[in-house]
């Protein structure tokens, strides 16, 4: 049985999204893919298309780059939700110069009130070097803080490295 909140961490191209998809598929519930990415160039359009193709059929996709909390409220508890990913969501808010405290409060409220189990994917940024510019440093700090808050709330936390899951908290279903 899928916990009410699972967090799947990993570096870029670590296999975290594929692992998270397998968790949701394994729940046996109807699947909702809550996509946070925005395609501002052809490279990102291609990446999104590849993810959709690899994910395959059987997913209802909702594109929501900012208002994840509100969106979760409209999803039935019969479903299982995959949010991919918290990193893009945070980037969207940073680039829009939104109030991060307010945005995070909305996200956490939505997760707490979600009737459906949620698996959220996020990049682990703690193993990288200190970035050279102010915005990148702010992102790294905020992403680290967000991941810590999500991990504290989650019943299951998994770190994926080279496609291999390492359970940090909880037990795999």
User: Omega before 138 cis (within 30°)?
Assistant: no
Active-site positions?
51
Contact, 49 vs 55, CB < 8 A?
no
Strand pairing category for 156-161 and 5-10: parallel
Helix ranges (DSSP H) in the chain: 16-26, 42-55, 68-73, 86-95, 100-113, 134-153
| Calpha distance 164→144 (Å, rounded) | 21
The model's pLDDT over 115-171, given as tens digits with 9 standing for 90+, comes to: 999 999 999 998 878 888 999 999 999 999 999 999 999 999 999 999 999 999 999
The model's pLDDT over 30-70, given as tens digits with 9 standing for 90+, comes to: 999 999 988 878 888 888 788 777 777 899 999 999 999 99
| Calpha distance 36→50 (Å, rounded) | 15
Domains of the chain: 5-169 (3.40.50.300)
Q: How many CB atoms lie within 10 A of CB 97?
A: 7
Q: What is this structure's pTM?
A: 0.94
| Calpha distance 58→71 (Å, rounded) | 19
């Amino acid at each position: 049985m899928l916990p009410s909140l699972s967090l799947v961490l990993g570096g870029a191209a670590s296999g975290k999204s594929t692992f998270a998809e397998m968790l949701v598929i394994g729940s046996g519930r109807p699947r909702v893919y809550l996509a946070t990415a925005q395609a501002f160039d052809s490279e990102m359009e291609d990446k999104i298309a590849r993810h959709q193709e690899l994910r395959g059929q059987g997913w209802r996709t909702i594109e929501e780059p900012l208002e994840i909390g509100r969106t979760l409220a409209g999803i039935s508890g019969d479903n299982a939700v995959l949010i991919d990913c918290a990193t893009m969501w945070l980037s969207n808010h940073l680039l829009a110069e939104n109030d991060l405290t307010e945005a995070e409060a909305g996200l956490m409220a939505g997760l707490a009130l979600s009737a459906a189990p949620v698996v959220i994917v996020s990049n682990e940024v703690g193993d990288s070097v200190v970035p050279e510019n102010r915005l990148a440093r702010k992102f790294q700090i905020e992403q680290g803080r967000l991941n810590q808050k999500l991990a504290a709330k989650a019943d299951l936390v998994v770190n994926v490295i080279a496609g291999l899951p390492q359970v940090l908290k909880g037990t795999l279903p």
